[in-house]
């Protein structure tokens, strides 16, 4: 089933007719005649969308139902459509302010209604997906920062057939919204997008006689990585169902089917921006959670959780392409003595500086990770023995070149590293190359460098130090 829809209508016949229409589109449908019945259904199994039926626009039955559902924590996030026998601008504004996402006049145009339902369910699916990812991050202890909906002023870009229309719309809506407002003719919007900061939402005015240009812009917005998360409000000059359906199916968040209306646009834009900022916050929390999961908080380097799977992928690539690669384990010499003599704050600073020197020396394609207290994994893809040896030598020189200055205590701490190196080609004859096995070989080579004096490089295949530097302060 593509979604579960709850119909709330006090008239049984209306519920039955609407159920037939929705079931024919393969939606799962449940019914309620009163608010209490609806809330009971929502508590048991939350629907994906609510359709509220109101027999007469002059009474407040439908408006009260919408307001009550939005006021309940159990149903506040569920999208809502309000169907009524007669509509007016005044009633439509009241319905939007009461929490309805849109209003349809009876008899309902079925194709347009189904397009709006598809649009709302698509948005709800995206929201729920990011909510689930965010909850997962929080369970794992990441992404604890609260979501702020309006940390910066939102920006709206008006894309209109001509400049004068955009200027007029901006002038009328500016007193009604707290947003920064930009305006571009439709024909210039795509080229302008590369030169300006990405807006939070677009308002696209469709020319009734030639809507194709505006619809192409909408498709481009949804296709581009920089703008696909932006809100989009489409404005029609007249209530053309075919164009409305095209706009919704191409990804518009909302459609004003009755032309430009400043107050209505302000309400719809506020809702679009609110939901867009909420999704941005969820995405940011998830991204920060993912980064926290694979990043060492002190040095900013990758951690073991990221490094080992990545090493495995490099080994698999090397096996397929028959290209050699190097695995190194670098260990800061006498780190315990540094902590004991200067304190753990100074020790942390030494690790930060060491990490920066390693990062600045290695190539962008190389893997650098902190896999232990003072131990670092370095992987050089597509690298032969001579290049690996030269790089290891260079790393030793860079680390040993100058001491680490601790500004607060005004002390200089000399630092050196020992490095063990293992080459994939030395083990490829035994079958598929194992990244974990190479890490073990590099670790044993490191032990050799440590046991024969530190501040040097040992190549595992040679089983002896190939480079030796006189360490300072040892």
CA-closest candidate to residue 196, choices 164, 150, 149, 157: 157
pLDDT tens readout for residues 163-200: 999 999 999 999 999 999 999 999 999 888 888 899 99
User: What single-letter DSSP state applies at residue 357?
Assistant: H
How high is the pLDDT of residue 471? 38
- Helical (H) or strand (E) element with 133: helix 110-139
Do strands 367-370 and 375-380 pair parallel, antiparallel, or not at all (unpaired)?
antiparallel
Percent of the chain residues topping a pLDDT of 70? 90
Per-residue pLDDT reduced to its tens digit, 3-47: 899 999 999 999 999 999 999 999 999 999 999 999 999 999 999
What pLDDT, in 10s, does the model give residues 414-437? 999 999 999 998 887 655 678 889
Give the integer Cα–Cα distance in Å for 22 and 113.
Answer: 10
Question: What pLDDT is attached to residue 272?
Answer: 96
Report how far residue 397's alpha carbon sits from residue 460's, in angstroms, rounded to the nearest whole number.
20
What domains sit in the chain, N to C, each tagged with a CATH number?
1-108 (3.40.50.2300), 111-290 (3.40.50.2300), 304-468 (3.30.70.270)
Q: In whole angstroms, what is the distance from residue 198 CA to residue 191 CA?
A: 12
**Polymer length in residues for the chain:** 474
pLDDT band for 214, please (50, 70, 90 cuts): very high
- Residue 95 tokens read as 């319905």
Instruction: Look at strands 417-423 and 201-206 and give their pairing.
Output: unpaired
Nearest to 310 by CA among 298, 327, 296, 322: 327
Q: Which of 72, 124, 131, 127 minimizes the C-alpha distance to 99?
A: 72
Predicted confidence band of residue 470 (pLDDT cuts 50, 70, 90): very low
3-state secondary structure of 32: strand
Residues 276 and 86: their CA atoms lie apart, in Å, by 31
- With beta carbons less than 8 A apart as the criterion, state whether 446 and 377 touch: no
Predicted local confidence at residue 141, as pLDDT:
54
| Alpha-helix residue ranges (DSSP H) falling in 250-342 | 262-294, 304-321, 335-342
DSSP per-residue string spanning 84-95: ESS--HHHHHHH
The predicted model gives 457-470 an average pLDDT of: 57
Closest CA to 51 of 96, 77, 75, 83: 83
pLDDT confidence of residue 468: 45
> Distance (Å, rounded) from C-alpha 415 to C-alpha 455?
9
Tracing tokens 């190549």 back to the chain, one arrives at 459
Q: Of 234, 170, 241, 238, which is closest to residue 204 (Cα–Cα)?
A: 234
Q: What is the pLDDT of residue 282?
A: 81
**How much is the pLDDT for 235?**
97
């Amino acid at each position: 089933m593509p979604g579960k829809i709850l119909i709330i209508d006090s008239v049984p016949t209306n519920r039955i007719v609407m159920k037939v229409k929705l079931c024919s589109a393969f939606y799962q449908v449940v019914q309620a005649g009163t608010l209490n019945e609806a809330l009971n259904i929502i508590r048991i199994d939350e629907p994906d969308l609510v359709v509220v039926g109101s027999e007469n626009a002059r009474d407040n039955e439908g408006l009260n139902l919408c307001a009550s559902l939005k006021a309940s924590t159990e149903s506040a996030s569920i999208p809502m459509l309000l169907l009524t026998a007669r509509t007016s601008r005044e009633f439509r504004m009241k319905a939007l302010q009461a929490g309805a996402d849109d209003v349809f006049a009876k008899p309902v145009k079925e194709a347009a209604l189904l397009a709006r339902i598809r649009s709302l369910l698509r948005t709800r699916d995206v929201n729920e997906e990011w909510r689930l990812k965010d909850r997962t991050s929080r369970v794992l202890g990441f992404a604890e920062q609260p979501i702020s909906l309006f940390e910066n002023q939102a920006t709206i870009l008006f894309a209109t057939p001509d400049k004068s229309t955009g200027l007029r719309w901006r002038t009328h809506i500016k007193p009604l919204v707290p947003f920064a407002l930009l305006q571009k003719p439709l024909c210039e919007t795509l080229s302008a997008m590369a030169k300006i900061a990405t807006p939070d939402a677009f308002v696209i005015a469709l020319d009734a006689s030639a809507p194709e240009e505006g619809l192409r812009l909408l498709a481009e917005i949804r296709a581009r990585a920089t703008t696909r998360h932006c809100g989009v409000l489409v404005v029609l000059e007249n209530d053309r169902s075919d164009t409305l359906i095209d706009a919704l199916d191409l990804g518009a968040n909302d459609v004003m089917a009755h032309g430009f209306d400043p107050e209505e646009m302000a309400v719809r834009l506020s809702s679009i921006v609110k939901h867009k900022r909420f999704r941005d916050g969820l995405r940011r929390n998830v991204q920060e959670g993912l980064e926290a999961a694979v990043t060492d908080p002190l040095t900013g380097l990758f951690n073991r959780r990221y490094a080992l799977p990545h090493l495995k992928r490099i080994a698999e690539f090397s096996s397929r392409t028959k290209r050699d690669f190097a695995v190194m384990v670098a260990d800061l010499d006498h780190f315990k003595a540094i902590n004991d003599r200067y304190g753990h704050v100074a020790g942390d600073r030494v690790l930060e500086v060491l990490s920066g020197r390693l990062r600045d020396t290695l190539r962008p394609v190389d893997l650098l990770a902190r896999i232990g207290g003072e131990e670092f994994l370095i992987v050089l893809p597509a690298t032969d023995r001579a290049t690996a040896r030269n790089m290891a030598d260079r790393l030793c020189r860079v680390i040993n070149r100058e001491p680490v200055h601790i500004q607060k205590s005004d002390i200089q701490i000399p630092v050196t590293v020992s490095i063990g190196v293992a080459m994939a080609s030395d083990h490829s004859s035994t079958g598929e190359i194992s990244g974990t096995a190479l890490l073990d070989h590099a670790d044993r080579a490191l032990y050799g460098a440590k046991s024969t004096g530190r501040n040097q490089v040992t190549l595992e295949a040679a089983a002896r130090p190939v480079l030796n530097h006189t360490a300072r302060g040892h």
